[in-house]
Structure 1
Amino acid sequence: MDFGSVTLAGLRVVREIAERRTFSAAAVSLGYTQSAVSRQVAAVERAAGAPVFERHRDGVRLTATGRVVLRHAAAVLDAIDAADRELRGLPAPTATVRLGAYPSAGAVLLPTALAALRRTQPGITVRTRDGSTPSLVRALRAGSIDLAVVASAPPFRAPDDESPALVVETLVERSLCVAVPATHALAAADAVHVEDLRGERWIAGRSAVDEHPLGVWPGLDGRPEVVHVARDWLAKLRLVAAGHGLTTVPADLAAAAPDGVRVLAVRGGSDERRRVIVAYLPGPQPEASGRVIDALRAATAAPSST
């Protein structure tokens, strides 16, 4: 075993695969061929004396050895990036927090939190990226982000089953709502009964094959009629405004809904609640990360109308 022979390229490949979950996606992201990625992984595994990844039908997962390699890889690569900035004479932010968030959080939550943070903590630089909950959790594990703001649905399980368990804090829990065209018959009231949603056309987001389509009201009988699929929340709401169907939204997104859309509470059936949580790796958190979490807490502290 000679881990001192591992190259920086090998460490970058391991981190990218851990985040992307496949060798091919990591190769595309890094601009490498897939064979080059495989060679780098093989070299790291030889140096570590054990496999770094387990192969599964849905991608790869880190082994116990791989988690150790990744933890140290993240620290080494961050230090190298900092040295590179200093050598090139670039200003090194005294406190930078890399924050990931699910797409609709960028409509209300992030702008509110970041505006407050800029007023109270101008020395903190926050760099954001969006993504699905699984992709953000992988980025958190890979050390590509420091904090992840993700959505959680009942039964409110942990974001993943990896070890060590992520630290999670519920920022807010609110009702799921439905967005309807302002010209729709349902838009005349402030709330709609779940029975009135049967037979409607839906605008959904992408989800795993075995999951309920995102954007369709949960628990409806039969196969929902999904007429449009879009990941971007604004695209979905624009389609709603144009009269092409309905979609579900968290209650706090009502403030950002475009003209032509009404966001309604849903009565009857099960109480569909959604949590917004912030997750991070266990261990002491830098002060800057704690300040960002404080700003997120404050941004979600206003009472919901639903």
Structure 2
Amino acid sequence: MRFDLESLRVFATVVEQGSIAEAAQTAHIVASAVSRRISELERDAGTPLFERHSRGVRPTAAGRTLYRHVRRIFEQFQQAEGELDEYTKGVRGHVRLSVNFTAMVYYLPQALQRFLSANSAIKIDLIEKTSDAVVRMVESGMVDFGICSLTEPEPRLTCFPYQADRLFLIAPAHHRYAGCASLRFDDILDEDFVGMQDGASIYTLSQRAAAAAGRRLKLRIQVTSFEAVRNMVAAGLGIGLLPEIGIPDATPGLVKIRLDEPWVERSLQIVCRDPDALPAAARQLIGELLSTTPIAPPPDKSIP
């Protein structure tokens, strides 16, 4: 297929507006020109891209697939324009990365401070997302690389081990488990849980473990931060799972209990599509991050 960028832009506008007439108004062209461009795209694709209905149009399965790629293309154009514009302002590098909550709060602040102190001409855009969302952003090219806890292998990505942590059970200080040195996950599945939001690795791992035991996790409350989990558990609203680094020593109203399960051992990973194709500034930042972690990167890939 031969794609015309303006036709792709019009196509995306029609998808977003759900109407050829509204797309024409948004794009400041006549409706007949929009229809002609869509017809040409459908002819080149060899398949319908829209279904017509009484209130407008909706994309077909092929149309949705094309739209996903078109959005990625224009996002990359916008990133390129932004980066080139920054060079005119004296910025000599731009890194976009997405990280999960654990990396954002506990591992990156000091590392980024050291990096930017030594590389003041590099700009960093940092986005906090759940681990699942980090993977999607890296795969789509929306960011250069990500840091997350993988809950399953990602064969399309290159992964560098970054940090390791272990999940612990936290319970109110007066809870019946408070005196236990360790527990199995099966022991606690009758309890109400305070959990992280969907897409967080802790949520995914605990849900899978419950399903493997033939049970369902009784999520009473879902929150978006470790502090919120601690506060809700301390108030007696349930028990929770957090990485050890997210449980300060002697937290008032809480006890920390070891779980004897292999899946509670987590590894934070630096993930990217192709390290050799990364911008120089992104490669430099990954190298800095890996140099400060006790875990070495895989021997078949290296970031100078």
Give the TM-score of the pair, scaled to structure 2.
0.67
Deviations 1:267-290 (A, max 9, x none): 2x5453222111112242222112
Corresponding position of 1:78: 79
CA 80–107 in structure 1, closer or farther in 2 if over 3 Å, else same: closer
Shift of 1:257: 9.4
CA deviation after TM superposition for structure 1 residue 100, in Å: 0.3
How far apart are the structure 2 equivalents of 1:285 and 1:75? Answer: 14
Bigger drift between 126-135 and 41-50 goes to 41-50
2:278 alignment partner, SS class: coil
**d(CA) in 2 for partners of 1:44 and 1:98?**
34
Q: Is the 8 A contact 1:216 1:247 kept in 2?
A: no
Written as runs of structure 1 = structure 2, the 5 A alignment for 1:31-180 is 33-35=17-19, 46-47=40-41, 49-50=44-45, 55=61, 60-61=64-65, 73-82=74-83, 91-153=89-151, 156-158=152-154, 165-180=156-171
Aligned partner letter, 2:153: R
Query: Which of 170-179 and 250-259 deviates more?
Result: 250-259
In angstroms, what is the RMSD of aligned CA positions?
Answer: 4.2
d(CA) in 1 for partners of 2:278 and 2:249?
A: 32
Structure-1 residue corresponding to 2:232: 239
> Normalising by structure 1, what TM-score?
0.67
113-122 vs 96-105, greater mean Cα deviation: 113-122
Per-residue CA deviation, residues 7-64 of structure 1 (Å, 9 max, x unaligned), is 68559x59xxxxxxxx6xxx5xxxxx444798899958955933799739xx95569x
Q: Which amino acid aligns with 2:77?
A: V
**Contact map agreement 2:159 2:272 (CA 8 A) in 1:** yes
Whole-Å separation in 2 of the counterparts to 1:75 and 1:238: 41
Match of 1:284 in 2: 277
SS in 1 for 2:238: coil
Q: Within 5 A, what are the aligned runs for 1:2-13?
A: 3-6=3-6, 9=9
SS at the partner of 1:244?
Answer: coil
Uncovered stretches (5+) of structure 1, i.e. residues with no partner: 15-22, 28-32, 160-164
- Please report how far the alpha carbon of residue 249 of structure 1 lies from its aligned counterpart in structure 2 after TM superposition: 1.7
Report if aligned partners of 1:204, 1:228 keep a CA contact under 8 Å in 2.
yes
> Greater CA deviation, 185-194 or 144-153?
185-194
Deviations 1:156-175 (A, max 9, x none): 3217xxxxx22222223433
Q: Following TM superposition, by how much is the alpha carbon of 1:235 offset from its aligned partner in structure 2, in angstroms? A: 1.9
Contact 1:180 1:241 in 2 (8 A): yes
Matches within 5 A, 1:6-21: 6=6, 9=9
Q: Does the aligned pair in 1 maintain the 2:164–2:267 contact within 8 Å? A: yes
> How many residues end up aligned between the 2 structures?
267
- Shift in Å at residue 98 of structure 1? 1.0
Alignment of 1:201-216 (within 5 A): 201-207=192-198
Q: Which residue is equivalent to 1:162?
A: none
What percentage of aligned pairs have identical amino acids?
A: 19
Deviations 1:57-115 (A, max 9, x none): xx95569xx75x667545432233345667xx8x3522121110122322202223223
Larger Rg: 2
How far apart are 1:191 and its partner, in Å?
Answer: 3.8
What SS does structure 2 have at the residue aligned with 1:128?
Answer: strand
Q: Within 2, Cα distance between the matches of 1:187 and 1:124?
A: 48
**2:230 aligned counterpart, secondary structure:** helix
Unpaired stretches in structure 2, ≥5 consecutive residues: 28-33, 50-58, 296-304
Q: Secondary structure of 1:100's match?
A: strand
Question: What is the distance in 2 between the residues matched to 1:126 and 1:3?
Answer: 33
- Encode CA deviations 1:241-295: one digit per residue, 9 max, x unaligned: 222111112233234996444443212x545322211111224222211222234
Aligned partners of 1:273 and 1:173: how far apart in 2?
A: 7
Q: CA contact under 8 A between 1:204 and 1:216: conserved in structure 2?
A: no
- CA separation in 2, counterparts of 1:147 and 1:109? 16
Quick one: structure 1 residues 83 and 172, their matched pair in 2 at CA, closer, same or farther if it must change by over 3 Å? closer
Structure 2 match to 1:248: 241
